[in-house]
Amino acid sequence: LRGKKVVVSAGATQESMDPVRYLTNHSTGKMGYAVARACMLRGAEVTLLASTGCTLPPVPFVKTVPFTTAADLFEAVKTHAMDADALVMAAAVADYRPATVAADKVKKHDGEMSIALTRTQDILKYLGENRTAKTFLCGFSMETEHVVKNSRKKLEKKNLDMVAANNVKVEGAGFQGDTNVLTLITQDEEVSLPLMSKEDAALKILDKILTLTSF
Ligand code: CTP
């Protein structure tokens, strides 16, 4: 990957509702960090868009750009990824954020409460619609059922080259742990990988990208 520019996103977005609380998810960033490290070890110029919620040590020889919200990540992607040779979007991005952010702490009252939510930008969809042929777009897909069917829909709807899909309910897959069980979905095939470390899964993703591009 020497001479190639790769952008990787990792970790969970955080969407504030007041100065005390935010909406987020269980992503640790481990999968994205593993992809960034693998790209660096293979010689790429790597930019890692990393959630400020990630507590992982920085990846050496990789430029790290922090983000907090989906809107921040959208800006970072537009700044860093439009001319990339490949983008691997491992970040777990909120689909909704609180419609308003209270300036002061929201106090409790008797009875129920609800939070009005508004849609965030689908960053990968935007990229798929505004891509240059040059940039290989790899998304991730987190599902709990109909993994391949739902993930293939994302490949098509977002105009991607590959989706690395995983089922959060499968032992050893998904958030938190050091392993994953991925299915790599492309236009022509579905490759189911066995349980392996996130480092090895990252290498498999790169191997697949190399077979599908003229890198
Ligand atoms: N993604 C994105 N922008 C969003 C939401 C998701 O770019 N607002 C990206 C993720 O980084 C991931 C891919 O889209 O690479 C799929 O994310 P996922 O959460 O699995 O699916 P969604 O498209 O959000 O669909 P749903 O939540 O309905 O499953």
CA 16, CA 136: separation in Å to the nearest integer? 32
- Is 122 touching ligand 1 by the criterion CB < 6 Å? yes
- Distance, in Å, from the CA atom of 190 to the CA atom of 180, rounded to the nearest integer, reads 16
In this prediction, residue 133 carries a pLDDT of 80
Atom of ligand 1 nearest to the CA of 150: 29
Q: Please give the number of the atom of ligand 1 that sits closest to the Cα of 91.
A: 11
- Per the annotation, the verdict on 25 as an active-site residue is yes
Helix pair 30-41, 198-212: axis angle to 10 deg: 60
Find the 56 Cα to ligand 1 centroid distance in Å: 22
For residue 157, what are the CA distances in angstroms to 23, 107, 120, 138, 211? 26, 41, 17, 13, 23
pLDDT digits (tens, 9 = 90+) for 56-69: 999 999 999 999 99
Å from CA of 151 to ligand 1 middle? 10
| pLDDT tens for each residue of 107-130 | 999 999 999 999 999 999 999 999
- Claim: this prediction has a pTM higher than 0.85: yes
pLDDT, position 171:
93
Tell me: the pLDDT tens digits for 124-167? Answer: 999 999 988 899 999 999 999 999 999 999 999 999 999 999 99
Q: Give the Å distance between the CA of 110 and the centre of ligand 1.
A: 35
pLDDT of residue 94: 98
17-42 pLDDT tens trace? 999 999 999 999 999 999 999 999 99
> For residue 46, what pLDDT is reported?
98
pLDDT at residue 58, as a whole number: 97
- Confidence tier at 188 by pLDDT (50, 70, 90): very high
Q: Which atom of ligand 1 is nearest to the CA of 124?
A: 7
CA of 96 to the centre of ligand 1 (A): 11
Mean model confidence pLDDT for the chain: 97
3-class DSSP state for residue 32?
helix
Convert the pLDDT of each residue in 196-207 to its tens digit. 999 999 999 999
Long-range (24+ apart) CB contacts under 8 A made by 200-203 are: 201/31, 201/34, 201/164, 202/31, 202/34, 202/35, 202/37, 202/38, 203/38
Residue 70 Cβ < 6 Å to ligand 1: yes
**Amino acid type, 28:** T
Q: Are the beta carbons of 159 and 131 closer than 8 angstroms?
A: yes
For 42-51, the pLDDT digits (tens) are: 999 999 999 9
